[in-house]
Amino acid sequence: MKSVRRRLVGTTLGFGALAAAAVLLAPLVGSTRISLRAAFDWSRPFADNPDAQIFFIARLPRTLAGASVGALLAAAGAVFQGLLRNPLATPFTLGVSAGAALGAMLAITFHWSFQALGLSAVPAAAFAGSLLAVAIVYALAQARHRGLSTTVLLLAGVTLNAFLSALILFVQYFANFADTYRTLRWLMGDLDISSYEPLLAALPLGLASMAVFAWLARPLNLLAVGPDSAESRGLNVTAAQRAAFLSASLATGAAVSIGGPIGFVGIIIPHLVRLIVGPDHRLVLPAAALFGAAFLVGCDVLARTLIAPIELPVGVITALVGGPFFLWLLIRRR
């Protein structure tokens, strides 16, 4: 058996190359052909350079958003699956996305127009909503035991998901047709952003979560064998579970505030990655982040080009790819 260090290098280089290729090629593809040489021709003023405008304003932020959201959702999915010891968990299982959705619905329906942390109202409200959902689920799972009960976590998350969905319908009832269209589009998951601000706003949180994920890799392996045996091997199980829940929830909140609840990335990517590199979280987490980035950027290219010039929400593509895959996984498991 090859050493973990060598497998880690191989995994990072392999999936890193895939992610880099996706990020470099995606801005070149689209309904309008652009020339890279023209886009990077600094002698022309930006205002007179349509190639540069398309590259830097329309496509690059969108590509980077796809890469960030894909990486965060895929890695967070792997962390949730490890935390809940359930391979079918997703980043949205514990109510984070429903909280974000309610926030976004409120902002759209009631035309909020504040700015916070460099974010416009909809992503800011979405992020606040996700924080609220995280706080509620955490408080519920915390109250029953001195530790963190993953059973209560799961029940509280699923219940909160259902309750928030009801609230979302309630808010929708007050929306006019145009707003309803916007909310529906948001709920499908969409990377249609044309500035770097949302990315910069999400960056610190995203990086912090990733740093915690790196520490969590070995604790998640121990938890997969069983919380009791993990405890007897010297792991502070409660601390590890709290760290996993909070970091993965915040990563999901950051991702959803950028792109909406883009489905299936958080479940199919960790599963595909496990088929390739095995179950060791020290390999699964970096591989999932890089492959998730490549996958979502790829799906977004499809979304932009499939029926161009109409742009589909990327969540439609991931669902069309992910749904059948998910069913195949279920059948394969037994």
Partner 1 sequence: MLSAHDVWFGYDARSPVLRGVSVDIASRALVGILGPNGSGKTTLLRLLAGTRSPQRGVVTLDGAPVAAQSRAALARRIAVVPQETQLAFDYSVAEVAMMGRYPHLGAFEIEGPLDAAAVHAALAATGTGHLADRQFTMLSGGEKQRVVIAAALAQISDSVEDTGTRVLLLDEPTASLDLTYQLEVLSVLQRLNAEHGLSIVISTHDLNLAASLCRTLLLIRDGRVVAAGASEAVLTQDSIRALYGVDAEIVDRPSGGRAILPVRRTGS
Give yes or no for residue 24 binding partner 1 (CB under 8 A). no
Shortest Å, Cβ 8 to partner 1:
7
Give yes or no for residue 87 binding partner 1 (CB under 8 A). yes
Cβ contact 148:242 at 8 Å: yes
Site for partner 1 in 166-225 (CB under 8 A): 214-215, 218, 221-225
Shortest Å, Cβ 271 to partner 1:
10
Task: Name the residue among 312, 318, 267, 304 with its Cα closest to residue 87.
Answer: 267
Shortest Å, Cβ 235 to partner 1:
7
- What character string, x for contact with partner 1 (CB under 8 A) and - otherwise, covers 235-274? xx-------------------------------------x
Report how far residue 191's alpha carbon sits from residue 36's, in angstroms, rounded to the nearest whole number: 22
DSSP of 228-248: HHHHHTT--HHHHHHHHHHHH
- What character string, x for contact with partner 1 (CB under 8 A) and - otherwise, covers 133-172? ----------------------------------------
Q: Which amino acid is at 288?
A: A
Give yes or no for residue 99 binding partner 1 (CB under 8 A). no
Tokens of 329: 């996984």
Q: Please work out the total of residues on this chain that contact partner 1, with binding judged by CB under 8 A.
A: 32
Give yes or no for residue 232 binding partner 1 (CB under 8 A). yes
Residue 290: Cβ within 10 Å count: 28
Tokens of 186: 């948001």
Residue 234: Cβ within 10 Å count: 7
Shortest Å, Cβ 136 to partner 1:
25
Question: How many alpha carbons fall within 13 Å on the CB side of residue 293?
Answer: 23
Q: Which residues bind partner 1 (CB under 8 A)?
A: 1, 3-5, 8, 81-82, 85-87, 214-215, 218, 221-226, 228-229, 231-236, 274, 278-280, 282
